[in-house]
């Protein structure tokens, strides 16, 4: 910078004579600056690359541990005891993912402002209010001494990495860019990350808040159309919503809401339908796509366990995967486990709320939020008997009424106990016993064993309510809407060895009408599940390759249901434009596959998206739309009804299905033109729908050019089995199955997997973005837990007791 500042621009009179020389000096200065800056940055990044060969001394180990990284960068950790195993897992994970781990615990704890600045303050207030870290601290006390030790051992390993990286000035370059160093890792940090994942997969509070806001302004008929089902005692509850209004402006504007498409696919196939004669299992959890991946693939080996799969960076163990005898996978059950209560505040004491005719003191937590470059911000969290008051977290409003949230994950839960037991289970009975400890988030577990067993279980704490069904907020000043406990553990939905020869879930409805307990009414759209069922039932003998292909399947069954009806109501419209007709012709010849090289998926997906603007606005603004978490199923039902000639107030008020469909279609065509020009034949889904696995620092340009991957065209969509959700404004694919796995129990020593974009969080690592090609084309790598296989790569690191 000093060199550039010293260069002066000559005056106008002398420019003709001196200009070429000035240009040369400036150009030379820029080149030197870039070379110096780039060289220093390269040196920093290269210095932070983990040691993967040779020996490292680690304080606290009892015996040497060997870490083999295979050709895909998966660490295979061999230890003589579990103490050393988990110390090594903490150390090795930190080697690859320390910045991600630190950012994850900060986000969940409400501590981002300390390193990012004031722009993260509302987000920090949000998570301080929800209290994920407080819930983690309560949960830590509930763990067994054995599991507490695992957490401590893991933390010891992470801290050994932090200590060594600080001493050698080799922390990941992101810490240098942001100008801070990570604090010591605590056992509660791991549990806090786990609570964040429970939050990311819960997602019912925002729907209740949305319907609460809508109840204030809509007619009964239009309000009922937004409900998943109208509550049995709906008249009473809806009147309570109208009589006790709460301003949700601040909440809607700054809420950090889970992606409504957070879900997954999983299925198990029996030996009778498997080409190998043994069960097979497939799992691809759908969460955010980013750099680094949300999942970290690892193999843990000690005398009493040999387990491989994935875990969230920062958490010990393996949460999804297989051992030498069994395999298991999950999808999100998505039950109603969060209830909003309308609380009446004492006008004379804002820290008291009414219950059963008396004023009760709320718990008050005085938080201090550190802000980079600014003074610390004091922040007060108010917690009623039902939970934290969330309706005014960003403002000191102290309204006469407020919304407090009760949630199963804010109680003490012990999922890590279950994870430790999964690793050592050899039978369905042993695995099922482990599930007694898995409380939140409630999940659909599928299971396969080398003994031939396949099984399914919906597992987790699901409340039983006196009244209400979790669809809308309920009065908190009475005991009429309290929880009466949880669905008894032995009454949770379970299936073992069904006659069909397979079990599949995709966040769909998993119970029949005769099931005695309420789970939820906001199931995912049924299209992924229906397609999985189609494919699995169509073939007598299935192979691993069949299951891989199905995980990448792009058939759009939503289009199969709606497209003909939608094109039918618009194709004869008098005001169709020539380009509209060209686009319609492309849709009518479409094979209903979201192929990136076709134009029709772009037109269709934009069309469905534009119904939001035509049907729901202006009644639902952008902020409240963010809370409308069952919008897709509501919209599907609206289209379903109107295309069958039934009345639907939202569409009828906008002129009927013909007018709304045409308006949405023309908006979609206009957007396609603005994106890709005036020739529909040249439009491509993959030009808009692209994945770049954005890094957190990629939000700051031009760092995106350094840390993010080069955008790659991606097929699929939100309702295809090969899930690929996208940012509605930009088309960026930011949601899907970062991890896909298939395991054939005829050889439980190996699995086929892909982790997008790769294993490492280090920009210069060969495993940083190396799996993008496989991930975007449906290919996999083999991960073996056989030492003779994974040692062949030769990446041997010895961790030696210090």
Examine the pLDDT at 394 and tell me if it is beyond 80. no
Residue-wise pLDDT for 266-298, tens only, equals 999 999 999 999 999 999 999 999 999 999 999
Output the CA torsion sign for 634, 637, 642, 645: negative
Residue 710 DSSP code: P
**Which CATH number is 694's domain given?**
1.10.1400.10
Examine the pLDDT at 16 and tell me if it is beyond 60. no
Instruction: Select the more confidently predicted residue: 238 or 478.
Output: 478
Read off the pLDDT of each residue in 251-270 and give the average, rounded to a whole number.
87
How high is the pLDDT of residue 653? 96
Give the residue from 691, 713, 734 where a domain finishes: 734
The residues pairing with 344 across neighbouring beta strands, listed in sequence order, are 401
Read off the pLDDT of each residue in 461-465 and give the average, rounded to a whole number.
97
The residues pairing with 57 across neighbouring beta strands, listed in sequence order, are 800
Read off the pLDDT of each residue in 716-729 and give the average, rounded to a whole number.
96
Beta-carbon contacts of 99 under 8 Å, excluding residues fewer than 6 positions away, are: 172, 174, 175, 761
* Percent of the chain clearing pLDDT 90 (strictly above): 85
Picking from 317, 387, 377, 402, the residue whose alpha carbon sits closest to that of residue 134 is: 387
Examine the pLDDT at 7 and tell me if it is beyond 50. no
CB atoms within 10 A of CB 609: 17
Read off the pLDDT of each residue in 567-590 and give the average, rounded to a whole number.
96
| Strand bridging mode 795-801 / 54-58 | parallel
- The mean-pLDDT minimum among 130-134, 203-207, 449-453 falls in 203-207
In which band, very low, low, confident or very high, does the pLDDT at 772 lie, cut at 50, 70 and 90?
very high
Number of domains within the chain: 3
In which band, very low, low, confident or very high, does the pLDDT at 36 lie, cut at 50, 70 and 90?
low
How high is the pLDDT of residue 737? 97
Residue-wise pLDDT for 44-101, tens only, equals 788 889 999 999 999 999 999 999 999 999 999 999 999 999 999 999 999 999 999 9
Q: Specify binding-site residues for Ca(2+).
A: 336, 339
Are the CB atoms for 408 and 438 separated by under 8 Å? Answer: no
In which band, very low, low, confident or very high, does the pLDDT at 17 lie, cut at 50, 70 and 90?
very low
Highest mean pLDDT among 224-233, 307-316, 517-526: 307-316
CB atoms within 10 A of CB 201: 25
How high is the pLDDT of residue 23? 46
Does residue 383 belong to any structural domain of this protein? Answer: yes
How high is the pLDDT of residue 238? 66
Residue-wise pLDDT for 336-387, tens only, equals 999 999 999 999 999 999 999 999 999 999 999 999 999 999 999 999 999 9
Give the residue from 686, 710, 734 where a domain finishes: 734
How high is the pLDDT of residue 396? 58
CB atoms within 10 A of CB 679: 11
Read off the pLDDT of each residue in 513-527 and give the average, rounded to a whole number.
93
Q: Domain range for residue 6? A: 2-48
Catalytic residues: 264
CB atoms within 10 A of CB 202: 23
**Which CATH number is 249's domain given?**
2.30.120.10
How high is the pLDDT of residue 250? 79
Does residue 254 belong to any structural domain of this protein? Answer: yes
Using CA atoms, how far apart are residues 352 and 703, in angstroms rounded to an integer? 48
Terminal-to-terminal C-alpha distance of the chain: 44
How high is the pLDDT of residue 457? 98
Does residue 708 belong to any structural domain of this protein? Answer: yes
How high is the pLDDT of residue 202? 84
Using CA atoms, how far apart are residues 768 and 174, in angstroms rounded to an integer? 14
Find the helix or strand (DSSP H, E) in which 234 lies.
helix 234-243
Helix axis angle, 234-243 to 205-215, nearest 10°: 70
Q: Specify binding-site residues.
A: 336, 339
Using CA atoms, how far apart are residues 338 and 442, in angstroms rounded to an integer? 12
The angle subtended at Cα 194 by Cα 189 and Cα 198, nearest 5°, is 145
Examine the pLDDT at 1 and tell me if it is beyond 90. no
Are the CB atoms for 637 and 646 separated by under 8 Å? Answer: no
The angle subtended at Cα 798 by Cα 792 and Cα 802, nearest 5°, is 175
Using CA atoms, how far apart are residues 746 and 191, in angstroms rounded to an integer? 35
How high is the pLDDT of residue 263? 82
The angle subtended at Cα 755 by Cα 750 and Cα 756, nearest 5°, is 160
How high is the pLDDT of residue 231? 53
How high is the pLDDT of residue 468? 87
Read off the pLDDT of each residue in 109-129 and give the average, rounded to a whole number.
96
Does residue 218 belong to any structural domain of this protein? Answer: yes
Does residue 747 belong to any structural domain of this protein? Answer: no
How high is the pLDDT of residue 544? 98
Does residue 148 belong to any structural domain of this protein? Answer: no
Beta-carbon contacts of 37 under 8 Å, excluding residues fewer than 6 positions away, are: none
Mean pLDDT, rounded, of the chain: 92
Examine the pLDDT at 27 and tell me if it is beyond 50. no
Does residue 185 belong to any structural domain of this protein? Answer: no
Beta-carbon contacts of 222 under 8 Å, excluding residues fewer than 6 positions away, are: 619, 649, 650, 653
How high is the pLDDT of residue 633? 94
Residue-wise pLDDT for 312-337, tens only, equals 999 999 999 999 999 999 999 999 99
Residue-wise pLDDT for 597-635, tens only, equals 999 999 999 999 999 999 999 999 988 999 999 999 999
Give the residue from 410, 436, 451 where a domain finishes: 410
Does residue 321 belong to any structural domain of this protein? Answer: no
Using CA atoms, how far apart are residues 629 and 10, in angstroms rounded to an integer? 61
* Percent of the chain clearing pLDDT 70 (strictly above): 93
């Amino acid at each position: 910078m000093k060199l550039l500042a010293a260069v002066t621009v000559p005056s106008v009179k002398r420019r003709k004579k001196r200009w070429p020389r000035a240009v040369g000096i400036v150009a030379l200065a820029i080149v030197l600056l870039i070379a110096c800056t780039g060289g220093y940055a390269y040196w920093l990044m290269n210095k932070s690359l983990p040691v993967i060969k040779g020996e490292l001394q680690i304080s606290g180990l009892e015996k040497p541990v060997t870490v083999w990284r295979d050709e895909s960068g998966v660490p295979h950790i061999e230890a003589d005891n579990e103490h050393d195993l988990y110390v090594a897992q903490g150390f090795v994970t930190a080697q690859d993912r320390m910045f991600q781990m630190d950012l994850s615990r900060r986000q969940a704890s409400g501590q981002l402002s300390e390193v990012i600045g004031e722009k993260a303050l509302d987000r920090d207030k949000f998570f301080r209010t929800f209290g994920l870290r407080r819930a983690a601290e309560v949960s830590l006390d509930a763990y067994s001494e054995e599991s507490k030790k695992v957490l401590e051992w893991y933390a010891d390993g992470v801290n050994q990495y932090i200590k060594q990286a600080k001493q050698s000035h080799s922390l990941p370059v992101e810490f240098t860019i942001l100008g801070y160093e990570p604090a010591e890792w605590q056992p509660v940090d791991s549990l806090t990350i786990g609570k964040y994942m429970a939050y990311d997969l819960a997602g019912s509070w925002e729907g209740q808040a949305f319907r609460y806001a809508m109840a204030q302004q809509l007619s009964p008929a239009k309000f009922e159309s937004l409900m998943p089902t109208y509550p049995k005692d709906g008249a009473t509850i809806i009147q309570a919503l109208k009589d006790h209004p709460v301003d949700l402006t601040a909440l809607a504007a700054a809420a950090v809401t889970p992606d409504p498409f957070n879900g997954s696919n999983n299925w198990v196939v029996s030996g009778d339908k498997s080409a190998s004669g043994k069960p097979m299992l497939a799992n691809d959890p759908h969460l955010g796509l980013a750099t680094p991946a949300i999942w970290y693939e690892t193999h843990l080996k000690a005398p009493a366990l040999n387990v491989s799969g994935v875990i969230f960076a920062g958490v010990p163990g393996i949460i999804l995967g297989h051992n030498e005898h069994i395999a298991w996978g999950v999808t999100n059950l998505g039950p109603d486990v969060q209830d909003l209560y309308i609380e009446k505040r004492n006008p004379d004491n804002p820290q008291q709320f009414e219950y059963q005719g008396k004023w009760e003191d709320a718990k008050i937590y005085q938080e201090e939020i550190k802000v980079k470059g600014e003074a610390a911000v004091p922040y007060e969290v108010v917690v009623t008997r039902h939970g934290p008051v969330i309706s005014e977290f960003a403002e000191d409003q102290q309204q006469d009424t407020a919304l407090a949230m009760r949630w199963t994950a804010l109680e003490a839960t012990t999922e890590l106990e279950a994870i430790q037991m999964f690793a050592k289970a050899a039978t369905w009975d042993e695995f099922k016993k482990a599930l007694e400890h898995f409380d939140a988030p409630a999940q659909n577990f599928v299971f396969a064993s080398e003994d031939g067993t396949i099984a399914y279980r919906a597992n987790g704490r699901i409340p039983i309510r006196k009244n209400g069904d979790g669809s809308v907020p309920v009065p908190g000043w009475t005991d009429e809407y309290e929880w009466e406990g949880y669905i008894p553990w032995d009454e949770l939905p379970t299936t073992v060895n069904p006659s069909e020869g397979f079990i599949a879930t995709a966040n769909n409805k998993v119970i029949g009408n005769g099931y005695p307990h309420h789970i939820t009414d906001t199931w995912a759209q049924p299209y992924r599940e229906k397609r999985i069922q189609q494919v699995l039932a169509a073939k007598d003998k299935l192979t691993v390759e069949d299951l891989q292909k199905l995980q990448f399947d792009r058939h759009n069954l939503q289009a199969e249901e709606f497209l003909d009806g939608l094109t039918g109501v618009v194709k004869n419209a008098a005001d169709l434009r020539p380009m509209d007709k060209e686009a319609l012709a492309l849709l009518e010849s479409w094979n209903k596959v979201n192929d990136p090289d076709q134009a029709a998926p772009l037109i269709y997906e934009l069309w469905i998206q534009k119904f939001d603007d035509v049907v729901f606005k202006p009644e639902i603004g952008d902020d409240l739309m963010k809370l409308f978490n069952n919008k897709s199923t509501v919209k599907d039902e609206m289209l379903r009804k109107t295309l069958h000639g039934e009345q639907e107030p939202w569409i009828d008020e906008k002129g009927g299905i013909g007018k709304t469909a045409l308006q949405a279609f023309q908006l979609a065509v206009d957007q396609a033109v603005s994106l890709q020009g005036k020739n529909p034949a040249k439009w491509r889904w993959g030009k808009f729908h692209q994945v770049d696995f954005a890094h957190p620092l990629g939000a700051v340009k031009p760092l995106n050019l350094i840390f993010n991957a080069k955008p790659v065209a991606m097929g699929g969509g939100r309702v295809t089995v090969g899930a690929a959700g996208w940012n509605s404004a930009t088309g960026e694919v930011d949601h899907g199955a970062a991890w896909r796995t298939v395991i054939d129990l005829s050889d439980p020593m190996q699995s086929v997997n892909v982790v997008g974009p790769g294993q490492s969080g280090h920009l210069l690592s060969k495993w940083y973005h190396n799996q993008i090609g496989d991930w975007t084309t449906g290919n996999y790598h083999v991960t073996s837990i056989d030492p003779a296989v994974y040692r062949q790569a030769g990446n041997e690191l010895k961790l030696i007791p210090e």
